[in-house]
């Protein structure tokens, strides 16, 4: 069964460093997302990406963050100048499209980011 | 702003019991609702998706219902097993004409099934 994959599973970085989290969405999906979950808190939406551009972003997704689809298979989240409060589990998700609207979202296993 | 609430926050039952998890949302202009399972330190596994035009969906021992007008959904688990122990999350997306595509999540119900 197709699945969303994410690398690395765990990333440790120092405050102020840049990190890139990688995702390979399900191959026939056209909508891609990043969510995060701070330990003990709700899963929060960061950004969605469709047709090679950002479709929607939350107030969390400020200039520190960027997303890219560098090729036909990968979807990346870049965090510039990481802060302690960026420590969280970051989930990538993807979905098919119904008309122009995303359908059921499938999540990857997550990347645990620890900022020290 | 859409708010999703799940009750109870935690639940412990003996194996074999049937149980109901509750989810409520404040904005009834939803497109669909998904129930997920999350094991500790792991990703989210989609269990069921209900479109706004549907009343319920079933998958094996799981049955999810949706009452959009009252802003409620329930997840019914029949004949619970220790392997069902996990956190169950409810999440909704808003209608297409809102321009929103994101899932809004509840805090989850942590279920423990005792053997």
The position carrying tokens 């959009």 is B68
Q: Which of A55, A20, A3, A13 is nearest to B93 (CA)?
A: A55
Distance CA B8, CA B25 (A): 15
Distance CA A16, CA A64 (A): 11
Cβ pair A104:B103 closer than 8 A: no
A65 at interface of B, judged by CB pairs closer than 8 A? no
Each residue's pLDDT tens digit, A62-115: 999 999 998 878 999 999 999 999 999 999 999 988 776 778 899 999 999 999
Check residue B96 and give its pLDDT: 72
Distance CA A116, CA A94 (A): 30
How far, in Å, are A98, B29, B66 from residue B51 at the CA level?
12, 12, 9
B91 at interface of A, judged by CB pairs closer than 8 A? yes
Distance CA B18, CA B10 (A): 15
Token pair, residue A99, equals 């008309």
Check residue B94 and give its pLDDT: 85
Contacting residues for A44 by C-beta, under 8 A, at least 6 apart? A35, A36, A37, A38, A58, A60, B105
Q: Which of A35, A102, A112 sits opposite B101 (nearest CB)?
A: A102
pLDDT higher than threshold 90 for residue B105: yes
Check residue A6 and give its pLDDT: 97
Each residue's pLDDT tens digit, A10-48: 999 999 999 999 999 999 899 999 999 999 999 999 999
Distance CA B39, CA B71 (A): 26
Distance CA B36, CA B88 (A): 6
The phi-psi region of residue A85 (left if phi > 0; otherwise alpha if psi is between -120 and 50; otherwise beta) is alpha
Query: Residue A90's closest chain B neighbor by CA?
Result: B43
């Amino acid at each position: 069964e197709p699945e969303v994959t994410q690398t690395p599973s765990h990333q440790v970085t120092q405050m102020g460093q840049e990190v890139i989290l990688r995702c390979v969405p399900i191959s026939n999906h056209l909508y891609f997302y990043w969510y995060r979950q701070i330990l003990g808190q709700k899963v929060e939406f960061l950004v969605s990406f469709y047709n090679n551009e950002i479709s929607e972003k939350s107030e969390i997704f400020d200039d520190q963050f960027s997303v890219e689809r560098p090729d036909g298979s990968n979807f990346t989240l870049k965090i510039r100048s990481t802060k302690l409060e960026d420590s969280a589990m970051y989930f990538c998700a993807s979905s098919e499209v119904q008309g122009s609207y995303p359908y059921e979202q499938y999540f990857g296993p997550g990347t645990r980011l620890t900022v020290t | 702003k859409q708010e999703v609430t799940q009750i109870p926050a935690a639940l412990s039952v003996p194996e074999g019991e049937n149980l109901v998890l509750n989810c409520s949302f404040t904005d009834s202009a939803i497109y669909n609702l998904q129930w997920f399972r999350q094991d500790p330190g792991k990703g989210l596994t989609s269990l069921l998706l209900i479109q706004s035009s549907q009343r319920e969906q079933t998958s094996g021992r799981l049955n999810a219902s949706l009452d959009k007008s009252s802003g409620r959904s329930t997840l019914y688990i029949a004949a619970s097993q220790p392997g069902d122990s996990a956190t169950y999350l409810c999440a909704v997306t808003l209608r297409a004409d809102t321009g929103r595509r994101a899932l809004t999540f509840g805090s989850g119900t942590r279920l423990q099934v005792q053997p």
